[in-house]
Chains A and B, each alone.
Chain A
Amino acid sequence: MDLSAPAHDRNPAQTASAGDRPLLEIIGIDKSFGHNRILKRCSLDVRSKETVVLIGPSGSGKSTLLRCINLLEPADAGNVFFRGRDITRELRNADRIRREIGMVFQNFELFQHLTAAENIMLAPVKVLGMSRRVPTTSPSTCCTRCTSRTRPTPIRTSFPAASSSVWRSQGRWR
């Protein structure tokens, strides 16, 4: 993947106002697996509330770029700034940085031993230490948000394997 085109070409209006840095700045990162160079001096700016779509054939490095951002793969060279802070080499604090960066995997990687609700609540409860009873993290709230098309009936005991693709793609709870 070669995203070396200057970032300001995409959105001149925003870059014009100097001082406020992008939420996420990627500056010339390299990543190789063995002799296979996946990312070649890749740069990208993402501003707050901006939606960026990466498109490319499989194996072109889309996932690798994402994994470099939240430090699942350390970049070989270059820098990643998140909220103005260089996080590229902060592998020791990776877990704290990842709390602020969400990621959904291609095959979802739902936890098979947990119910649908427990899957959603795992990060707020175990990572952020929230109470299970806080309304914003309660499964019924989450469920209502994600089931716009279906009647929100929170069957919080359903397991990923039991409902397979329906559960995953529509966020349904039965």
Chain B
Amino acid sequence: MSLQLVIDYLLSPVFFRAAMMTLLITVTSLFFGILAGLVIALLQEANLRISRILALVYLWLFRGTPVLFQIIFIYNVLPGFGIRLSAFTSAVVALSLNEGAYMAEILRSGLGAVKKGQRTAGLALGLTRAGVMRHIVLPQALRIILPPVGNQMIGMLKTSALVSVVAVEELLLVANQTASANFRYFEALTAAGIYYLILTTIFMGAQNWLERSLDPKHRRRRRTTAVERLAPAAEAR
């Protein structure tokens, strides 16, 4: 057991690059996952039978099979149909599609939590359906879904370790390879674990910041300057 070796691994470019790869996979998969989720959630909300069925089949497929299976399937089976993706692309595609299914359900819960009367009120003001979605429903839904989305973000960070099976040079694969060369498992895995904790901490901080910036009570404090600018105009009357 050598603490020095743990520190050496932590500061080594190989581990740093692997951690950045893990972060890159996580962030891109989350981005496309949220996008896919939004599409599926809106398909489910739509008044069209076919779109609801489509969304349901998607959810059934991607929640019904293991992520690990989906990663391996996309990497190994799709080339047989002429679709050849790099290991990194396969990993991101698989994780995004999987994430989309869970994100869709979270988004749907948020959209459903905004009361129907709020939509009607928006329509009565003359907003279009898209305007109601953008200015009234989504901002309110976003606040509601933030805690579960935070869960998904941190979950994704850890799920990204699974893509080591298709030989993407991410944190766990690099740690394991390093250790198998000299059997210093404790040091290599500890270094990887510390990197995971650092990344998770960053994500938790980001979630906390987002939650506070969307909280009306917090926004209120930030805007006191605007009040002071307006106050004299009214005092004059």
Contacts and interface: CB of A to CB of B under 8 A. Distances in A.
Contact of B126 (A95, A115, A154, A155): A95
**Chain B at the A interface: mostly helix, strand, loop or mixed?**
helix
B125 A112 contact: no
B220 A109 contact: no
Interface stretch (B96-104, B113-121, B177-185): B113-121
Contact of B217 (A94, A138, A152, A162): A162
B230 A98 contact: no
A103 interface: yes
B52 interface: no
Interface residues of B, number: 32
Contact of B231 (A115, A122, A128, A153): A153
Interface in A139-166: 139-140, 143-144, 152-159, 161-162
Contact of B135 (A70, A95, A98, A122): A122
Given A144-B234, A154-B231, A159 B216 contact: yes
Interface residues of A, number: 35
A107 B118 CA distance: 10
B217 A98 contact: no
A153 B234 contact: yes
A10 interface: no
B237 A152 contact: yes
A130 interface: no
A123 B126 contact: yes
B126 A98 contact: yes
Given A113-B139, A113-B216, A144-B237, A156 B124 contact: no
Interface of A: 70, 72, 94-96, 98-99, 103, 105, 107, 109, 111-113, 115, 122-123, 126-128, 138-140, 143-144, 152-159, 161-162
- Across the A-B interface, the 7 shortest Cβ-Cβ residue pairs: A99-B126, A109-B121, A123-B125, A103-B124, A157-B220, A98-B126, A127-B126
Given A94-B123, A111-B122, A115-B223, 7 more contacts: A111-B140, A112-B140, A113-B216, A127-B131, A157-B223, A159-B216, A162-B216
